[in-house]
Structure 1
């Protein structure tokens, strides 16, 4: 959008990217593999700009007062184009530059352009505290010479951003894509000495992760086309991690780094994929992508502060660095958790169910502060989106204040999604000699079997670092004491604005009215989906909060074995299994007017791979995580 506007308003256009050193510091929260992906994406974009008609390169001498950027402060000892790690071609610049690259404080760099008569157009994006502070400094420095354009479909600068939000998103998703028409505009690139390859080399970026995608527009287009060809199998591949690696879209890194836009993907899938349950599920997850990013637009504090003040500083008093380290290294004694955490660290990827399970385990069972785990994910995930990662962590940690909450049981996850041990033995190979039926609880393997297999639990693989059942009960006891007060807090407009439910303040107020208490008794009846839906319909504009599928079904009877499960309220089964809360279903129902998925492509409820009783609220499958 910014480029489209620039070529209309200006005679000379200079595409510019500024490398901010803050993101390369020890606190930058980005692994080398993600930084490399960014550098590849920028090199790819540079190549596209270089191929643009009417491109004209201007090179100013370093001493010229007309040159806003003279050089990078990075001290390189080697040729930045001489790669030794196998990624030379992806960082090789075009024969002539298509973009201008700067390095340094963005406010300083942009003000240098403004001082020389340039106007600056940039995009408004969802961002946390640092980004807000940076943008504020840029506005103060550049004054009215800079414009932040809102072109991502999200709602800004209004008191009630969720009012008619779903309708606006639906209109935006089907709207015309931005295609710049250069006409008489001339493209200019200043040779500053700064390139993605130089920055990559200067900071010693040497990724060690494996199975990482390449960040180019060509690879993004190929991934999108390939996914459409197999979209019908998507529903049955999202839950089991060994299936999800190749079975989900794999598009999230490309969307996160701007190689593809949500609207571009949505329209391509809608126009080219066959009408089927997979297409319905996937396009709904694109809407959830926007839903969670809208939350960050509405409140940038998601990255560092509990949404609900009742849960502020939760687990701070139980912080145990040794437990945190065991979780990060995949040495907890819970094989599904350990396999997932090792995969995350080695590949920068994890499907959503495993992300949610490990987050739940970290906060509810290990009882550690949520933000430590959220930062760890954000550091390692190639596709980490701030708006999704941190809002999901707060939801998994139970910091929002909704009356239902989930605690994943990692042992049940083994039985449900890796019964043959394919995933576990790949990432926890020391357990591969054990029979598959022992992999949910290897510490219970008979000593004779351990001896025959050559695996001694407690030596070759750790025993569980905590007592799962005791920790789970402790969490529920604490949560029940605070649940009513937390619901009450949602009735406050400021807290409702933080939570940013799709139903707006009316949805938050409905929860407060039904479940809020001013005392600490924790009394109140746990909410059912049908009840929330009724409140949303009563307190929201007509049509805002319909719920698809089976989400209004009440829980089946719970047997003894199911008590080893993780949920208090099943919020989906069959067709709706794997979907988030009624709040999020409301997002999809109004934004996408598509047929009932049970009638699309002949799929039925029984086809769902995700029909266990552990479906919770606002915490299940989101395609940006896949």
Structure 2
């Protein structure tokens, strides 16, 4: 099925189904446009599969990642329940929704401080809908190495509460947490019975790791020459849509 066929089908869809339907079709067509936008990034600069869009970010993290942390993240054994549930689900099904893809990548990059090239390869092998042109720009965006996108440091505990309020998803993929009370499901290390769980302690302190990542990213952004390289990236890869208000472009932390 070509993108042209998808666009034509969207345009030809019956329009008499109300405002909600019309809005959904516009959103669908916009997604198709963004799909091409991201695929064009890799077509235009194939090196971004291996190098950061903003070259000052190329060495932001060690190129050889911490093997123990990488393995824990890959297997869903970081001790951060919602992250682990997502990674185990991905391994079993080959799919995650967009927000969860963003979160597992961001946690790997910021809290675990793993290089995006290593974690990106893991996800590339797991996603059944892997498309290089979309994957690598998104991996870089969620890792903060494009130099032009908003930095989002997801709080995995908060995401667990927000996205899985009943705990159903987390418990399905982490049966070893079945005894943990609902209130502490996303922070089982705080439960008085944590020592008897067949579940690892968290590999990092969530708050401390976020602070360290924030400081490292800000330090790079203050370096001489960062702004000039950013302008180059914008000219080559940025959307031509009107920019959002400045308040919306601020660094987003601990979502």
TM-score by length of 1: 0.37
Shift of 1:265: 1.7
Task: Give RMSD over aligned pairs.
Answer: 2.3
Quick one: higher RCO (CA 8 Å, sep 6+), 1 or 2?
2
Shift of 1:457: 4.7
Q: Is 1:480 matched with 2:173? A: no
For the structure 1 residues 366 and 298, does the alpha-carbon distance in structure 2 shift closer, same or farther, using more than 3 Å as the test?
same
Shift of 1:487: 2.8
Q: Is 1:271 matched with 2:12? A: yes
- Structure 2 stretches lacking a partner, 5+ long: none
Query: Which residue does the alignment assign to 2:69?
Result: 323
Q: Is 1:431 matched with 2:168? A: no
TM-score by length of 2: 0.88
Secondary structure in structure 2 of the residue aligned to 1:367:
coil
Contact preservation (8 Å) 2:176, 2:197: no
For the structure 1 residues 385 and 473, does the alpha-carbon distance in structure 2 shift closer, same or farther, using more than 3 Å as the test?
same
Secondary structure in structure 2 of the residue aligned to 1:490:
helix
For the structure 1 residues 290 and 429, does the alpha-carbon distance in structure 2 shift closer, same or farther, using more than 3 Å as the test?
same
More helix by share: 2
Shift of 1:569: 4.1
For the structure 1 residues 458 and 401, does the alpha-carbon distance in structure 2 shift closer, same or farther, using more than 3 Å as the test?
farther
Q: Is 1:333 matched with 2:79? A: yes
> For 1:459 and 1:339, how far apart are their aligned partners in 2?
16
**Among residues 325, 329, 348, which one is paired with 2:94 in the alignment?**
348
For the structure 1 residues 481 and 553, does the alpha-carbon distance in structure 2 shift closer, same or farther, using more than 3 Å as the test?
closer
Shift of 1:302: 1.6
Q: Is 1:380 matched with 2:160? A: no
Q: What do the CA deviations read for 1:251-279 (whole angstroms, capped 9, x no partner)?
A: xxxxxxxxx12221222233226433322
> For 1:407 and 1:336, how far apart are their aligned partners in 2?
15
Query: Which residue does the alignment assign to 1:422?
Result: 168
Query: Which residue does the alignment assign to 1:310?
Result: 56
> For 1:384 and 1:429, how far apart are their aligned partners in 2?
29
Contact preservation (8 Å) 1:442, 1:457: no
Contact preservation (8 Å) 1:402, 1:487: no
Secondary structure in structure 2 of the residue aligned to 1:374:
helix
> For 1:501 and 1:338, how far apart are their aligned partners in 2?
33
> For 2:212 and 2:160, how far apart are their aligned partners in 1?
23
**Among residues 340, 350, 363, which one is paired with 2:109 in the alignment?**
363
> For 2:228 and 2:47, how far apart are their aligned partners in 1?
20
Q: What do the CA deviations read for 1:98-118 (whole angstroms, capped 9, x no partner)?
A: xxxxxxxxxxxxxxxxxxxxx
How many residues align? The count is 247
Query: Which residue does the alignment assign to 2:38?
Result: 292
Structure 1 outlier segments of 4+, above 6 Å: none
Secondary structure in structure 1 of the residue aligned to 2:153:
coil
Q: What do the CA deviations read for 1:456-497 (whole angstroms, capped 9, x no partner)?
A: 4574111111111111111111111111443321234xx456
> For 1:468 and 1:425, how far apart are their aligned partners in 2?
21
Contact preservation (8 Å) 1:403, 1:487: no
Shift of 1:553: 7.9
Query: Which residue does the alignment assign to 2:230?
Result: 490
> For 1:261 and 1:304, how far apart are their aligned partners in 2?
28
Secondary structure in structure 2 of the residue aligned to 1:305:
coil
> For 1:416 and 1:474, how far apart are their aligned partners in 2?
24
Contact preservation (8 Å) 1:308, 1:401: yes
Shift of 1:366: 0.3
For the structure 1 residues 263 and 363, does the alpha-carbon distance in structure 2 shift closer, same or farther, using more than 3 Å as the test?
same
